[in-house]
């Protein structure tokens, strides 16, 4: 899901080598363990393939797919811990934290994942911490009663009891980790990262619970609690997008209405607050997110120039420069309310023009992106359906911000498919605003007259997919 994609799916930047740079052994590539990369080797059953998605603090993510037995890949991860999410399909997946210099074997045998170190630098127990935790939850179901109690407390608007349930949920995870540490040797770096996502999950549940059933005063106190925590502790990749939204909400309570409605003033206020209130690492990450969210190119250039004056992180500065450049390129589309699309050859067309060309046929629009694992997993079935249902025109529209990543994914997922486009003006398109495109994959069906018939149609992996399409 775009922007709020479950726990993992806050989207962040990652670089990786192409398969032309694949290597066959660690011993022949010692340099892999001396730079900012992670080396991964795959050990798979015959005919099996795996896909990777890597998340970190660089605001985009990238999927690498179709790794077979003995495949190898080198991933750039920078200086920070990154999360490697490995999946066979939506129901069969796992993950682990990695840092530069790690050399790992990912095994997938009989439907089970195992992560092993290829060097003495890393411990198998810490590699499999996430996997062992989710197996423990699946087997023991420790959250069932707590979740039922919380649902009752929420219905009764009993905030005190809701927060108590949240504490219990977190305590279950903490107890698991403490027991795991007694049985295995695990570095605190990995334990803290593992718990970090749940520590914020606990606070996030507090935040949403109180926002749904609490008073403004209670909500403001919760904002303060969360923000004070992250002024002191490092931000986890999984926490960044939601934390930034909390900063925005909290800031709106601190200034007069007239000023918060002045977008340029409010953006500057956010910039100054982040710059002054957060530690060096967290400050740089949050300012990068502010630049990433921005629309005003003049203001973004101003922020970037000021960012250069105090940040020492060249990776973040280069990323900020790239964001500003891309925003400048797209500025010419920003004021256009039409939905503007670009095909792989660079030709632009509006969605309305495209629908007019298809008039007389039903149209199934699939909104996807290169980084969206569920989108890509349903694409093969969707393409089969596009051949099967001749009276329905399938149009694939990517919401990627990185055009290069879209083109690479497009070649893999939609080779030689003509109705594939990149969305150019998501922020200003009137149609995109009307349908509230807040998450992907998202599917919309237009009837033969060009009118929306189904605003939230099932995807190809949905059991109702064929039944719905047969109606057209």
What pLDDT score was predicted for residue 337?
64
- Is residue 62 scored above 80 in pLDDT? no
Q: What is the pLDDT of residues 435-444, one digit of tens each?
A: 888 889 999 9
Please give the helix or strand (H or E) that residue 16 lies within, else none: strand 15-16
- Residue where a domain stops, chosen among 334, 369, 394: 334
- Boundary-marking domain end, from 214, 239, 272: 214
How many other C-beta atoms can be found within 10 angstroms of the C-beta atom of residue 376?
Answer: 20
Is 172's pLDDT higher than 80?
yes
State the CATH number of the domain containing residue 351: 3.40.30.10
The DSSP string of 349-369 is EEHHHHHHHTTTSEEEEEEE-
Mean pLDDT of all residues in 25-49: 66
Strand order in the sheet with 112-117: 15-16, 72-76, 37-44, 103-109, 112-117
- pLDDT-wise least confident of 24-28, 49-53, 303-307: 24-28
Identify the pLDDT of residue 298.
Answer: 85
| pLDDT reading at 6 higher than 70 | no
Question: What percentage of the chain carries pLDDT values higher than 70?
Answer: 85
Are the CB atoms for 457 and 468 separated by under 8 Å?
yes
The answer to the question of residue 9 being in a domain is: no
Per DSSP, 141 falls in state: -
Kindly state whether residue 50 falls inside one of the protein's structural domains. Answer: yes
What is the pLDDT averaged over residues 80-95?
Answer: 80
How does residue 212 score in pLDDT terms, banded at 50, 70 and 90? Answer: confident
pLDDT of 134 reads 85
Residue with the larger pLDDT of the pair 205 and 129: 129
Residue 365 within a domain: yes
**pLDDT at res. 10:** 28
Instruction: Tell me the sheet residues that pair with 365.
Output: 395, 444
Is residue 13 over pLDDT 50?
A: no
The residue among 334, 351, 382 that closes a domain is: 334
The pLDDT tens digits for 308-332 are 999 988 878 888 888 888 776 655 5
Contact between 408 and 399 (Cβ < 8 Å): no
- Say which residues have a Cβ less than 8 Å from residue 325's Cβ, sequence separation at least 6: none
Residue 339 predicted with pLDDT over 70: yes
CA distances from 130 to 97, 98, 135 (A): 9, 12, 9
Q: How many domains does the chain have?
A: 4
| pLDDT reported for residue 142 | 94
Residue 100 shares a structural domain with residue 176: no
pLDDT at residue 56, as a whole number: 63
Predicted pLDDT of residue 396: 96
Residue 344 and residue 449 share a domain: yes
**22 vs 458 pLDDT, higher one:** 458
Summarised one tens digit per residue, pLDDT across range 180-192 is 999 988 888 778 7
Are 360 and 439 members of one domain?
yes
**How much is the pLDDT for 88?**
85
Residues 389 and 399 in one domain: yes
What is the phi/psi pair of residue 92, to 5°? -130, 95
- Report the alpha-carbon angle 218-220-212, nearest 5: 60
Residues 24 and 82 in one domain: yes
Same domain, 209 and 220: no
Q: Are residues 149 and 271 in the same domain?
A: no
- The mean of the pLDDT values for the chain is 81
**Residue 261: pLDDT band with limits 50, 70, 90:** confident
Let me know if residue 130 belongs to a domain: no
Whether residue 93 has pLDDT greater than 50: yes
User: Does residue 289 sit in the same domain as residue 364?
Assistant: no
According to DSSP, the residues that pair with 254 across neighbouring strands are: none
Mean pLDDT across 121-140? 85
pLDDT band at 333 (very low <50, low <70, confident <90, very high): low
Q: Looking at the structure, tell me whether residues 368 and 435 fall in a common domain.
A: yes
Is residue 33 pLDDT above 80, yes or no?
no
Q: Can you tell me the distance from the alpha carbon of 65 to that of 43, in angstroms, rounded to the nearest whole number?
A: 15
Q: What would the pLDDT profile of 273-297 be if each residue is shown by its tens digit? A: 999 998 888 899 899 889 887 777 7
Residues 83 and 95 in one domain: yes
On whether residue 433 sits in a domain, the answer given is yes
Same domain, yes or no: 286 and 326: yes
Helices (H), 294-332: 297-310, 314-330
283 in the same domain as 165: no
For residue 246, being part of any structural domain is answered with: yes
Note down the domain range covering 379.
340-470
Q: What is the pLDDT of residue 387?
A: 92
Using alpha carbons, list the distances in angstroms from residue 340 to 233, 365, 371: 42, 14, 21
Q: What is the pLDDT of residue 27?
A: 33
């Amino acid at each position: 899901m775009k922007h709020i994609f479950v726990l993992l799916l806050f989207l962040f930047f990652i670089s990786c080598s192409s398969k032309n740079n694949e290597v066959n052994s660690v011993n022949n590539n010692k340099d892999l363990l001396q730079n900012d990369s992670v080396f991964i080797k795959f050990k798979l059953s015959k005919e099996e393939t795996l896909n990777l998605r890597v998340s970190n603090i660089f605001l985009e993510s990238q999927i690498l797919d179709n790794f077979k037995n003995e495949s190898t890949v080198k991933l750039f991860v920078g200086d920070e811990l990154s999360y490697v999410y490995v999946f066979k399909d939506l129901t069969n997946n796992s993950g682990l934290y990695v840092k530069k210099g790690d050399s790992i074997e990912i095994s997938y045998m009989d439907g089970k994942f195992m992560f092993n170190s290829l060097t003495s630098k890393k411990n198998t127990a810490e590699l499999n911490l996430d996997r062992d935790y989710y197996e423990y939850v699946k087997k023991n179901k420790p959250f069932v009663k707590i979740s039922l109690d919380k649902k009752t407390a929420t219905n009764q608007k009993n905030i005190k009891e809701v927060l108590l349930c949240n504490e219990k949920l977190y305590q279950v995870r903490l107890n698991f980790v403490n027991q795991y540490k007694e049985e295995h040797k695990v570095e605190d770096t990995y334990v803290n990262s593992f718990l970090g996502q749940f520590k914020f999950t606990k606070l996030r549940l507090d935040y949403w619970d109180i926002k749904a059933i609490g008073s403004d005063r209670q909500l403001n106190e919760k904002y303060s609690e969360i923000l004070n925590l992250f002024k002191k502790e490092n931000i986890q990749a999984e926490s960044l997008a939601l934390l930034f939204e909390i900063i925005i909400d909290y800031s709106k309570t601190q200034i007069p209405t007239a000023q918060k409605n002045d977008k340029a003033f409010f953006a500057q206020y956010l910039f100054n607050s982040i710059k002054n209130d957060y530690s060096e690492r967290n400050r740089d990450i949050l300012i990068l997110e502010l630049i990433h969210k921005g629309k005003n190119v003049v203001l973004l250039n101003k922020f970037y120039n000021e960012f250069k004056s105090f940040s020492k992180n060249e990776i973040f500065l280069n990323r900020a420069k790239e964001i500003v450049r891309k925003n400048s390129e797209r500025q010419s589309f920003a004021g256009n309310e039409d939905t503007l699309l670009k095909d792989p050859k660079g030709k632009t067309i509006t969605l309305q023009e495209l629908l007019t060309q298809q008039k007389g046929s039903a149209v199934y629009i699939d909104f996807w992106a290169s980084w969206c694992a569920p989108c890509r997993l349903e694409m093969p079935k969707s393409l089969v359906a596009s051949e099967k249902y001749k009276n329905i025109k399938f149009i694939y529209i990517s919401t990627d911000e990185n055009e290069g990543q879209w083109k690479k994914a497009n070649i893999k997922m939609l080779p030689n498919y003509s109705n594939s486009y990149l969305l150019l003006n998501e922020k200003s398109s009137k149609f995109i605003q009307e349908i509230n495109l807040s998450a992907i994959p998202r599917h919309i069906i237009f009837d033969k007259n060009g009118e929306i018939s189904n605003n939230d149609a099932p995807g190809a992996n949905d059991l109702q997919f064929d039944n719905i399409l047969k109606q057209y």
